Structure 1
Amino acid sequence: MKPDTRGLTREFCKLTNTSSKTALSWLKQYDFDIDLACLQWAEKESKAEAEKSIHGLFDQFKSSEDADLIDFDGSAKLFETLGVSFEDPETLLISYLLQSPNMGEFIREKFVQGCSTLSISNLSDLKNAVDQKKSLWKSDRALQKAVYIYSYPLACDKGKKNLSTGIAIELLQVLLKDFFPLLDHWVDFLQNSPIMDRALPKDTWNELWDFSLYTKVSPDCSDYDFEGAWPTLIDEFVVYYRKQVLNLSEYL
């Protein structure tokens, strides 16, 4: 049976306050199922309204020189509003959630995407979301790893892809202090290695997360697999650790 296109169009116009042309086009997308069409329209309008609110939230902290950027000063104001200082590790979590491209900066497009993903449309929503994620961060290994992996490019100098070993050490002492039993030994190893004059490879950074979990199970690295896919720098650390720290003559 052919649908009453005129009647449905009039009804859609009445319910959504749209033009006949828009109503007809929208109804066609959903085979003139007016209930489904109205539902999808309402969701679209709700999303548009929420996105408008997110832009308003961004504008509270945007740079006076670039309307699509929250600069260092704006970020400091944002963190302060959220009850976080730049020295707090939670800044890394917030940077991850709001897709910051560089430490102390947020760009409008990514900020809006991050807020939309978290169903945030105002400052109160943002505070609640950050508080919830902060609590979750203490126990959620997937979130912890995601923030850890994200922190490498985040902390790189603007326009650079590699992170200096010195900065990497500072981050590791924040991000892995509760998860990596051998962290102090790893830091000592790096500080006495030629790598201090170079960047810490990204693959080493990424794999160090899994290595930290391994050392919680095998703190003496007695069954470490040198034939595995571990980065060379981690191989060298295991040799150093078993020989220099544990004083084991047979360390391979």
Structure 2
Amino acid sequence: MGNCFSCFKVPPPPNPSTNAPLEKDKEEIMEVRGMLQSSQDLRCSPLTVVESQINGNSKGAGVPSFVVGSDNCGSLHRDKTSRTFYPRIPPLGRASLGGGGESKGKEVSESKLNALFEQYRDSNEDSMLADGIERFCSDLGVSPDEFKVLVFAWQLNAEQMCRFSRSEFMNGCRAMRVDSIRNIQTRLPELVTEVSKDPEMFKDLYRFTFRFGLDAESGQRILPSDMAICLWRLVFTVREPPILPRWLFFLETHPHVRGIPRDTWNMFLNFAEAVGNDLSSYDDTEAWPSLFDDFVEFENDQMNQNISKDKDEIIKQDCE
């Protein structure tokens, strides 16, 4: 029943047909009264005896306890001078659970976000274009081609380069819980650290980078080779695989490679993890893109040429 008043209802008059059990109850009541009479000396003690069935909680006679008053249904206290009370403990809030309410940061101000976006919005459309993004980056103290800006665009889930729509900007900043230049300056280095330590976050950023580099207006589906090279250098600012410089050199010295499809882009991350810095572990029977086969063959040729050059140098030195 808890603290409900129904705990204290007066019992109905006894039924004559139940006289035998009632006589037994009277004997038990008299016995309890005798026990209470014999415990009068405990009233001077700091510990008090709590009556049974107070607030619906059964307490055995002689068990020391404290009674908590209730402000819900009005607990019944018959002898206030003989009992000790402590204040009712308030319920735990978010601030009591390890500061969880503050760990997420302050609430984002919609008006401040809109005002921030308006500073850099293009005069002809509801987006930040190249000029506005350049001014935005300047106020952040970063260069538009920095890794931090790529991370910011990833947080906005921007559809294409050199354009941040109002909805992308607002939704991304809400997710980051930032609404000012100073907030963004503080949050971006934290995100960079998180991405560098979390493989799953980096994988998501890596796959976003391919889409971000496409010309969405023209329906482009393949990254031009020069754009892919720039984006590979940019996205691997952190977590750079050992094979990357040799891979980019291969692309730069093979002009017939004009574009990078999405599958090749995505698979390169797996390829780089699989081969490490030693291409001897490369298995050409696996379903790698053919461009990787060409790269491994090129690397083997380069290695053989270097070995031949070393042998020629040794022979030349011996002849001298």
TM-score (norm 1): 0.69
Structure exhibiting the larger radius of gyration computed from Cα positions: 2
1:123 to 166, 173, 181: 181
Query: Which consecutive unaligned segments of at least 5 residues does structure 2 have?
Result: 1-106, 308-320
- Alignment-mate amino acid for residue 233 of structure 1: L
Aligned to 2:121: 62
1:102 to 143, 160, 163: 160
| Higher helix content, 1 or 2 | 1
CA distance 1:111–1:226, change in 2 (3 Å): same
After TM superposition, the structure 1 = structure 2 runs for residues 24-43 of structure 1, keeping only pairs within 5 Å, are none
In structure 2, what is the Cα distance between the partners aligned to 1:206 and 1:148? Answer: 8
Query: Which consecutive unaligned segments of at least 5 residues does structure 1 have?
Result: 1-47
In structure 1, what is the Cα distance between the partners aligned to 2:275 and 2:142? Answer: 32
Aligned to 2:55: none
1:161 to 211, 215, 221: 221
After superposing the two structures, state which structure 1 stretch, 71-80 or 126-135, moved more: 126-135
Runs of 4+ in 1 over 4 A off after TM superposition: 246-249
Q: Secondary structure at the match of 1:167?
A: helix
Pairing 1:231–2:289 present: yes
Question: What is the CA distance between 1:71 and its match in structure 2?
Answer: 0.8
Question: What is the CA distance between 1:54 and its match in structure 2?
Answer: 2.5
Q: Secondary structure at the match of 1:233?
A: helix
Aligned to 2:270: 210
> C-alpha deviations, 1:32-52, integer Å up to 9, x for none?
xxxxxxxxxxxxxxxx97444
Pairing 1:191–2:252 present: yes
Pairing 1:146–2:204 present: yes
Question: What is the CA distance between 1:246 and its match in structure 2?
Answer: 5.5
- Alignment-mate amino acid for residue 175 of structure 1: V
Aligned to 2:16: none
> C-alpha deviations, 1:189-211, integer Å up to 9, x for none?
22333543x22111111111121
Equivalent pair of 1:99/1:106 in contact (CA under 8 Å): no
Equivalent pair of 1:63/1:70 in contact (CA under 8 Å): yes
Pick 1 or 2: higher relative contact order, CA cutoff 8 A, min separation 6: 1
> C-alpha deviations, 1:145-182, integer Å up to 9, x for none?
22222111212234223210011112222333652212
Equivalent pair of 2:284/2:293 in contact (CA under 8 Å): yes
- Alignment-mate amino acid for residue 300 of structure 2: R
Equivalent pair of 1:102/1:158 in contact (CA under 8 Å): yes
Pairing 1:89–2:147 present: yes
- Alignment-mate amino acid for residue 223 of structure 2: L
In structure 2, what is the Cα distance between the partners aligned to 1:222 and 1:204? Answer: 20
Equivalent pair of 1:54/1:112 in contact (CA under 8 Å): yes
- Alignment-mate amino acid for residue 117 of structure 1: A
Q: Secondary structure at the match of 2:221?
A: coil
- Alignment-mate amino acid for residue 181 of structure 1: P
Equivalent pair of 1:61/1:74 in contact (CA under 8 Å): yes
- Alignment-mate amino acid for residue 169 of structure 2: F
- Alignment-mate amino acid for residue 241 of structure 2: F
Question: What is the CA distance between 1:125 and its match in structure 2?
Answer: 2.7
TM-score (norm 2): 0.55
CA distance 1:244–1:206, change in 2 (3 Å): same
Question: What is the CA distance between 1:105 and its match in structure 2?
Answer: 1.5
- Alignment-mate amino acid for residue 166 of structure 1: D
| Percentage identity across paired residues of the two chains | 27
